[in-house]
Amino acid sequence: MFKKSLSSVILLLGLLALLGYPAWPAPGEVMVEPHDVRVGLVQKTSQVAFSVTGNYQLVDYDTNKIISEVAPGQRWEVRYSPDGLELYRDGTRIGSFKEPLGLSGKALQVDVLSGTGKQVKRESGLHALGANSKKVVLNNLAGVSVMGAGGQMKKIAPAGGLNLVTLYQGDQARRYRGNMEFRLDDKGLTVVNQLPIEEYLYGVVPAEMPAYWPGEALKAQAVAARSYVLAQMGTYASQGFDVLATQASQVYRGYDGEHPAASKAVDETRGIVVTYRGRPISAVFHSSSGGYTENSEDVWRNQVEYLRGRPDPFDRNPQNNHYDWTKTYTAGQLKEQLAAMGYHFSEIYDLVEMERTSTGQRVKILAVIGLGLDGQPLTIEIGRDPLKGKADEVRRALGLKSACFTMEKVMTQQPTETQVIPVQGQQDDHPRLVKVTFRGSGWGHGVGMSQYGALGMASQGYSYQEILKYYYSGVQIVSNYGA
């Protein structure tokens, strides 16, 4: 908490006045620290190299001892070995260590003016009060000015600048804020990036939504992403992290993926989350709904009360090119596609739509009829297995942008209206599939917020709060969650 000295109070009030923040918490409100998140960046790799900008040190977490200071420009490498983690610096072996190893940023010292005009050493992050009196930690102090007594201004320029870690894998190099941890997994190394959630979101929002989109759409994405990560904390605890950096969680591209407009949306919604019955929601989102969102239990396995389907007229807008798409497979190509997704046939005779979602827009269960690898009649109803999901499994299995589609089939012989295709196989005297064309709209699973729908709503003047409440049913927007 803040020191109760007059000089620190004056310093804080000057900073708040400069940044336009409220001067002090309202009665009964509590200032809270931001959460950290642990992001799984790399798994099952044999080695990873890194360098740093700023102030870092390597720590052996097994013994809690500092291995070495890490100088900017040095290239380090961590390699997997059966005995532990092999550490190298500029090609020279340093030693073998039990896991995990930590790459920890050191607190930066900065000079600011106190109320008396004297310079006082302070560590980052410096605490300020943000919107709704929430305590904000300013970890990146570069370029920030504070006001002391008499109106003197002092620009904060931390020695060493912003702490960043550059990870190298092959020809790819990417920079990240925060700390790194190197752990063993069942097939090699796992690399974990630990950093404050707000800084994590800087690298998520522009990876998930174009940063040139309207500000209210970006804010809706920022709040959805913040709510999602809070709801998902600990999902991969057995592997040493909370979320993945991929679409399996939400895409995170680190410092090099940041954009000022997206960071502005994160900052302007700092601490704001979507809740249902007092807890952050798993605010799933997708690119384009194709005109309708869906109930969660029609697309995946479980019913979630705030993930309800509804018409989505905002999704169809001039910038959305995910309508009226087509994809055609020959019977042979379809067989290969299904095999790649774990559904194996020696011949495919037909596709039969068995059930649609409650909106009627997506195929929820699709029967594939043909012969198995053993030459025996085989029918698999994709979407029927409760462990694999429903409409989203149909989309995935067929390799389509969406399960919102109709089929146009070409058969060897067109059946009459009275002909019935047998459920357990196809005889030689029945029509067989030659090719099929899927005609559909939308991109993604269709549950929760449509990003193109958010674009459409923002373009029509809706606020980010209205966008979120449209796509998530019965939710509340909480401004100071965790306080």
Q: How confident is the model at residue 370 (pLDDT cuts 50, 70, 90)?
A: very high
Of 61, 70, 65, the residue nearest 98 (C-alpha): 61
Highest mean pLDDT: which of 145-149, 358-362, 414-418? Answer: 358-362
Residue 89 parent element (H or E): strand 84-89
pLDDT of the residue at 397: 98
414 exposed, middle or buried (CB, 10 Å; 0-12, 13-18, 19+)? Answer: exposed
What is the band of 128 on the pLDDT scale with cuts at 50, 70, 90? very low
Strand partners, 381: 367
Residue type, 244: L
Q: Is the pLDDT of residue 58 over 50?
A: yes
Average pLDDT, rounded, for the chain: 83
Instruction: Report the 10 Å Cβ neighbour count for 351.
Output: 21
Q: Let me know: does 80 contact 47? Beta carbons within 8 Å.
A: yes
Q: Is the pTM of this model over 0.85?
A: no
Helices 331-340 & 391-398 angle (0-180, nearest 10)? 120
Strand-by-strand arrangement of the 377-382 sheet: 347-356, 363-371, 377-382
pLDDT at 30 over 90: no
pLDDT score, position 99: 80
- Token pair of 61 as six digits: 């977490």
Looking at residue 215, its pLDDT comes to 98
Interval 95-99 mean pLDDT: 87
CA distance 40 to 183: 10
Question: Can you tell me the distance from the alpha carbon of 135 to that of 146, in angstroms, rounded to the nearest whole number?
Answer: 17
- Determine the 3-state secondary structure of 226 from DSSP: helix
Residue 367 CA to its chain's centroid (Å): 33
Question: Nearest CA to 316 among 447, 221, 455?
Answer: 455
**Contact status, residue 114 vs residue 11, Cβ threshold 8 Å:** yes
Q: Judge whether residue 228 has pLDDT over 80.
A: yes
Do 348 and 335 contact (CB within 8 A), yes or no? yes
CB 102 within 8 A of CB 59: yes
d(CA 391, CA 355): 10
Residue 8 pLDDT class (50, 70, 90 cuts): very low
Q: How confident is the model at residue 466 (pLDDT cuts 50, 70, 90)?
A: very high
pLDDT per position as a tens digit, 311-349:
999 999 999 999 999 999 999 999 999 999 999 999 999
Q: What is the mean pLDDT of residues 143-150?
A: 47
What was the pLDDT predicted at 422? 54
Please work out, in degrees rounded to the nearest 5, the angle formed at the alpha carbon of residue 219 by the alpha carbons of 155 and 22. Answer: 45
> Averaged over 31-59, what is the pLDDT?
86
Q: Pairing state of beta strands 164-169 and 153-155?
A: unpaired
Indicate the pairing of strand 36-45 with strand 188-196.
Answer: antiparallel
The predicted structure's pLDDT at residue 480: 75
